[in-house]
Structure 1
Amino acid sequence: MIGCSADRGEEETVDQSKAFAFSGVTVIDGRGGEALTNYTVVVRNGLIDAVQPAGTVKLEGVKEINSQGKYLIPGLWDLHAHTFAESAIYDLYLEAGVTTIRDMGCSAECTQQLQQRREISKLDPATGPRMTISGPMIDGDSPYVYAFHHQVSLSTIPDAIDLLTELKVDFVKVRDFLSAEEFYAIVDAADAAGLKIAGHIPTAVPAQDAVRAGMHTVEHEGSLFGGLFLATSAD
C-alpha cells in the first residue's frame, strides 16, 4: 500500500506500530474497479483494518492523516531487478512506490548481502522493499562469464543447488546455454530442494517442454521466442 500526490509537499512520519488512518483519500484498488473517492482507510498492526466512506468509521485512538487530494494504491512490484545490493537503490524504490522486488541474480557474496538487507527490511519496512532472491544464475557452456553466473556440467549441478540452498534463495534462475539434459537435471534437483525454476528458456529446450517440466516463470521474450522457434522447427 502506498500513497501518492501531485504535490509531494512535506511528508508526515507515521509510527506503523500504532493504528492510523488515511482520511478523505481516493483509493485505487488495483483490480480494475472504480476509484473510491473520499474514503477512510484504517491500518492496525501493519494491516488494513477498514476501507469505508469518510465519516463512517470511528477513529478513537487512531492517528488521523488528512489525505484529501491524495491517492492510495497497492504497493508496486519490480518483478525483474538486479540491485547488486546497492544500498542507495532501496530508498529510491520506496519513493517510487515499489514495496516488493524480485532480485534476479548476483554473486554468492552479493546474495548474502541481500539476505542481510532483507532481514533489516523485515524489521523496519521503511528501510527498503520486501525481496525475493534468486542468487547466482545457473548456466551451461556459455561464452559469457560473470561473477553472478554459476556455470555447471551434469556432474556439478548437485553442488550448484546445494550452494543456492545454503544461500537460502527463494528460487533458481537458469540461463540460455544449458543443454536439455542439464536443464532437466536442474529441474529435478531444484524440486528435491523445494525450489522453483525461473529464468531464460535454454535454447536447447522447446518452450512447451520447459513449462511442462516445471519452469515457473519465463524472463525476457527473447528466450521464450527462441524456445518457440525450436519447438516449431521440431514439429
Structure 2
Amino acid sequence: MITRRWVRGVVGGAVAAGLLAGAAGCETPPAPKAAPGRTGAPKKTPAPSRSPTPTSTPSAPASPAAPEPVPEPCPEGGVRLVEGSGDGVMGLRLEGYRLVNCGTDEYVLEGYPQVRLLDKQDQLLEVAIGHGSAPITSEVPAVDAPPERVTLAPGQTASMALLWRDRITDVTVPPVEGWVLEVTPKPGAPRLGLRLTRPVDLGNTGQLGVGPWKR
C-alpha cells in the first residue's frame, strides 16, 4: 500500500511537471515590433513657380463710328445756292441768300440775279419782282446798294437779299407763300433751285424786291 501510493505520487508529480513544462512551451510569442516609420510630417514638394497671369479688365465693345456725311456734288455751273439768315419787323421781311463757288475756276458776278418763286407743289407764283426796296418800303442798304463786279475764287461766297412785306390787303385773295427759290446767278448760267425752310410769305401784296450781288 505504501509502495503504490509512492509510485502514484511520483508518477503524478512527473505528469504535473510535464504539463507545466508543456504549458510553458506553448506561451504566445510577443508581437513583433512595428517597423520604424518616418518621423515628423511628410515634406511637400514645392510646386513649380508660375509667372502671375495678368488680369485684364473687360472693355465695353467699341460703338461703330458714325458714317461721315457725303458731300453734295457741286451743281452744274460750279456754284451752290445756300439759305442764309433773315429778319422781320412789323411784317417787313429781309432774307439773305449765299452763292458759294464750289467749282475749280473763278466765278464772276455782276448786277442782279434773276429770281422766281414756286409754291409747295413746285408751281410758279405770279409775283411782281423788281430791283431795290421801292415800292415795298423806304431805302434798305442791303437791297438798294449799287451793283458791283464780284469775282469769286474757289470756296468764296457772294450774297444777295430779298425784301418783301407779309400783309393781307384783301381777305378775298388767298395769301401767297413761296417755298422754292429759283435763281439764275448771271445771264446764260444754269438756274439753281433751293427748297426753303422759311417761306417767302408775301401775304397778298404780290411784290418782291431783289438786291445786287455783294461780296
Identify whether the pair has TM-score above 0.5, normalized to the shorter chain.
Answer: no
**Higher Cα radius of gyration:** 2
Question: TM bucket by the smaller chain?
Answer: under 0.3
TM-score of the superposed pair, with normalisation by structure 2: 0.22
- Which structure has more relative contact order (CA 8 Å, sep 6+)? It is 2
TM-score of the superposed pair, with normalisation by structure 1: 0.20
The structure with the greater share of residues assigned to strand is 2
